Chains A and B, each alone.
Chain A
Amino acid sequence: AQSVTQLGSHVSVSEGALVLLRCNYSSSVPPYLFWYVQYPNQGLQLLLKYTTGATLVKGINGFEAEFKKSETSFHLTKPSAHMSDAAEYFCAVSESRNNDMRFGAGTRLTVKP
């Protein structure tokens, strides 16, 4: 079965600094990969997704992620952090169109002024 590992439960960056959140996956078939963001007391919002095609995926709020099959990774990046980026970020993997998604444990991003 598919699974996701997010390296680092907490990441802290300064405002304006690069954001890098790490995600590695395990899947027996070509995966579909997702990054979601969760603000306090809210549901999950899709940042970006990879299904097929271009391996560099651009999402909302200036985030992007690159699918690297050889490294089984799908790391999330943003060139310049903003205070409003502070939230919990979840990486997820799916092996089918039936959307049975498996989530990582999450990474809490803190942005320091």
Chain B
Amino acid sequence: DAGVTQSPTHLIKTRGQQVTLRCSPKSGHDTVSWYQQALGQGPQFIFQYYEEEERQRGNFPDRFSGHQFPNYSSELNVNALLLGDSALYLCASSYNVHEQYFGPGTRLTVT
């Protein structure tokens, strides 16, 4: 079992650009959550997808959007990037339990 995988590992974007991050959940998991972890801080909940729909959303602007595919994989899209969007973006998957498995994250740098 490969666990939760995320791609890319790192990327650098310019202010105003758009970015798409990808996540493949652990085998057997149907729920994907996304978190933003700024340097020196704890992860902040962005949103959660279940059955291809956004089930819950944290306090993030509409520039942050997502999608879940029939195979349960997920994408996080961020439009009109700001310098403050620079962070580690973590994906976590779960299946009807409280235990979330986290991927290694995607490090986004906005210049």
Contact = CB atoms under 8 A, between A and B. Distances in A.
Q: Do A and B come from one complex?
A: yes
A99 B31 contact: yes
A105 interface: yes
A42 interface: yes
Interface residues of A, number: 25
Contacts of B48: 98-100
14 contacts: A32-B98, A41-B104, A46-B100, A49-B98, A49-B99, A99-B33, A99-B94, A100-B45, A100-B48, A101-B33, A101-B100, A102-B45, A105-B42, A106-B40
Interface of A: 4, 32, 34, 36, 41-46, 49, 51, 90, 92, 94, 97-106
Given A102-B45, A105-B41, A106-B41, A42 B104 contact: yes
Contacts of B4: 43
Interface string B25-64: 0000001010100001111110010100001101000000
Contacts of A44: 43, 90, 92, 102
Contacts, number: 62
Given A98-B48, A101-B33, A103-B35, 14 more contacts: A42-B105, A43-B90, A43-B104, A43-B105, A44-B43, A44-B90, A49-B98, A90-B43, A97-B96, A98-B55, A99-B33, A99-B48, A100-B45, A103-B44
Contact of A99 (B42, B43, B44, B100): B100
A34 to B, nearest CB: 8
Contacts of B92: 44, 99
Interface of B: 4, 31, 33, 35, 40-45, 48, 50, 55-56, 58, 90, 92, 94, 96-105
